[in-house]
């Protein structure tokens, strides 16, 4: 009995020490919006941007490279007082497209409880919240965060967030509008997943709210672990003006809706110059057989699967970590990804092997300063339907301030 008590005390002490060490090494990740929210000034200004070069190299085709000012972003905010703050994120993509990625009001009840309302990032995975170019390796964002979790994924909603330092827990929980599943046509498919269903706060409509939440634990030295969820139904314009007694119309409306249950796990580990991270998604989708039949157009059946799965693991090392006097970082890295938007299907729908993909990305990130990076990588991608890997060379610059 005494040995058990002693062992329990040692475990508690070990976790306590590691929690304190974690805080000393600032093992709490913050994106640009988080940093602005922690600022004391009245007017808050930040931003980030990236310029890319992409060149495909395939054995049987030849194509020109592309040069693109992929995005330039300005964050503007205001501290009305010590409790009430506003944050906005205005993004220009490809020089000609303008988007609002965040626009929310935050009220601080106390040091570990905040209320947020407005256009909010869905807290799913790593990159959707930490998508500044200096926050990830590789010129382009991971494919998993494009095909499974449709980064940058943001919707209008409200909820609570906070950081309980004593428990080493950061949390978020929001009610938001769901994906635009049907507005005269089906917007969800096996090829594009949920990407075309994002409403992005642009005259969004809602027929039922969705719940999204995430908890991050950072109490173990050098390690950050996150678990996230997203649950609810897609939205359909067929519910507008629906007579509740009209069973036929209600049946059609129900066929235009799917239920989405998405779970995400992620982890980041940093020790001296070593950087390891990983991410996993599983999505279950119900009512897909009825949805695919209802959204068939021109005799071409829709092909939304009933489950999606994706993950990646990545390792990098800052080889300048022990170079005396260096404030720069040079990080060679490799990332292995796999994603399948037809992980499962319903009815007579055949699994499409082109939706089951493996991707290998490897390259260098040279961080010249804290907010400036040069990147280069080569990406090998292959689906189960292809005979060989496609190859793409990517290079770019990124800034964050």
For the chain, what is the mean pLDDT?
92
The pLDDT score that the predictor gives to residue 299 is 79
- Separation CA 2–CA 221 (nearest Å): 28
**Average of per-residue pLDDT across 97-122:** 97
Nearest CA-CA partner of 255 in 293, 299, 198: 293
CATH assignment, 2-43+71-357:
2.40.160
Whether 155 shows a pLDDT value over 50: the answer reads: yes
Task: Give tens-digit pLDDT for 119-128.
Answer: 999 999 999 9
The pLDDT of residue 95: 96
Residue 361: CB atoms within 10 A of its CB come to 24
Sole residue written with tokens 């590691």: 18
What distance in Å separates the CA atoms of residue 90 and residue 140, rounded to the nearest whole number? 20
Collapsing DSSP to helix, strand or coil, 269 comes out as strand
Tell me the per-residue pLDDT of 178-210, one tens digit each, with 9 for 90 and over: 999 999 999 999 999 999 999 999 999 999 999
- DSSP H or E run through 70: strand 66-79
Assess contact for 191 and 356: CB atoms under 8 A: no
Residues 350-365 have a mean pLDDT of 98
Q: Which residue has the tokens 């995400």?
A: 264
Q: What is the DSSP letter of 165?
A: G
What DSSP letter does each residue of 178-247 carry, written as one string? --EEESSSB--BTTTBTGGG--TTSS---SSEEEEEEEEEEEETTEEEEEEEEEEE-EEGGGTT--TT-H
**What is the tally of helices (H) and strands (E) in the chain?**
5, 18
**Predicted confidence (pLDDT) at residue 6 exceeds the cutoff of 90:** no
Q: How far apart are CA 369 and CA 358, in angstroms?
A: 33
Is it the case that residue 334 has pLDDT exceeding 90? Answer: yes
Q: Helix-strand-coil percent breakdown of the chain, rounded to 5?
A: 15, 50, 30
Share of the chain above pLDDT 70, in %: 94
Residues 85 and 69 sit within 8 Å (Cβ to Cβ): no
What lies within 8 Å, CB to CB, of 134 at 6+ separation is: 48, 367, 370, 371, 372, 373, 398, 399, 400
- The phi, psi pair for 362, rounded to 5°, reads -145, 140
pLDDT of 304 over the 50 cut: yes
Which residue did the predictor score with more confidence, 61 or 203? 203
Contact 54, 70 (CB under 8 A): no
The span from the CA of 155 to the CA of 144, in Å, is 20
Residue 401 has pLDDT above 50, yes or no: yes
Cβ atoms of 192 and 213 closer than 8 Å = no
Q: For 7-28, what is each residue's pLDDT tens digit?
A: 444 443 344 444 444 444 467 8
Question: Lowest mean pLDDT: which of 11-25, 199-213, 241-255, 306-320?
Answer: 11-25
pLDDT number for residue 21: 45
Residue written as token pair 């979790």: 149
Calculate mean pLDDT across residues 318-330.
Answer: 90
pLDDT of residue 370: 92
pLDDT reported for residue 174:
98
One DSSP character per residue, 17-81 reads: HHHHHHHHTT-----HHHHHHT--SSEEEEEEEEEEEEEEEBTTB----EEEEEEEEEEEEEESS
Question: Could you tell me the two tokens for 2?
Answer: 């005494």
Tell which residue, 393, 179, 373, has the closest CA to residue 283.
179
pLDDT of residue 1: 44
Give yes or no for a contact between 142 and 335, defined as CB atoms under 8 angstroms apart. yes
Supply the pLDDT for residue 26.
60
pLDDT at residue 3, rounded to an integer: 47
Q: What is the pLDDT of residues 258-301, one digit of tens each?
A: 999 999 999 999 999 999 999 999 999 999 999 999 999 877 88
Percent of the chain with pLDDT over 90: 85
The rounded Cα 194 to chain-centroid distance in angstroms is 13
**Contact status, residue 85 vs residue 117, Cβ threshold 8 Å:** no
């Amino acid at each position: 009995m005494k040995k058990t008590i002693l062992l329990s005390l040692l475990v508690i002490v070990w976790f306590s020490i590691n929690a304190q060490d974690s805080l000393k090494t600032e093992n709490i990740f913050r994106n640009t919006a988080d940093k602005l929210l922690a600022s004391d000034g009245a007017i808050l200004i930040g931003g980030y941007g990236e310029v890319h070069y992409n060149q495909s190299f395939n054995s049987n085709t030849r194509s020109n490279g592309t040069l693109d000012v992929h995005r330039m972003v300005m964050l503007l905010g205001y501290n009305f007082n010590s409790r009430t703050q506003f944050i906005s994120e205005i993004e220009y993509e490809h020089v000609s497209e303008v988007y609002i990625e965040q626009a929310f009001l935050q009220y601080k009840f106390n040091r570990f409880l905040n209320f947020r309302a407005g256009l909010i990032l869905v807290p799913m995975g790593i990159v959707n919240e930490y998508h500044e170019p200096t926050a990830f390796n590789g010129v382009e964002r991971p494919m998993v965060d494009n095909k499974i979790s449709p980064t940058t994924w943001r919707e209008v909603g409200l909820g609570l967030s906070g950081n309980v330092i004593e428990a080493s827990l950061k949390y978020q929980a929001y009610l938001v509008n769901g994906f635009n599943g049907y507005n005269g046509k089906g917007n969800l498919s096996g090829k594009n997943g949920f990407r075309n269903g994002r409403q992005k706060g642009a005259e969004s409509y809602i027929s039922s709210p969705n719940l999204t939440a995430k908890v991050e634990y950072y109490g173990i030295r050098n390690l950050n672990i996150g678990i996230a969820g997203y649950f609810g139904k897609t939205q359909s314009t067929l519910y507008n003006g629906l007579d509740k007694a009209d069973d036929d119309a209600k049946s059609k409306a129900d066929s235009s809706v799917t239920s989405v249950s998405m779970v995400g796990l992620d982890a980041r580990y940093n020790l001296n110059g070593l950087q390891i991270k990983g991410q996993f998604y599983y999505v279950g989708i119900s009512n897909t057989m009825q949805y695919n039949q209802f959204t068939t157009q021109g005799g071409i059946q829709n092909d939304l699967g009933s489950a999606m799965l994706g993950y990646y693991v990545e390792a990098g090392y800052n080889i300048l970590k022990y170079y005396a006097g260096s404030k720069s970082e040079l990080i060679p890295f490799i990332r292995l990804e796999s994603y399948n938007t037809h992980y499962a299907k319903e009815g007579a729908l055949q699994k499409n092997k082109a939706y089951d993909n493996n991707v290998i990305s490897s390259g260098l990130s040279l961080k010249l300063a804290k907010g400036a990076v040069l990147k280069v990588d080569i990406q090998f991608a292959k689906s189960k339907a292809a005979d060989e890997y496609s190859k793409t060379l990517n290079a770019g610059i990124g800034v964050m301030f």
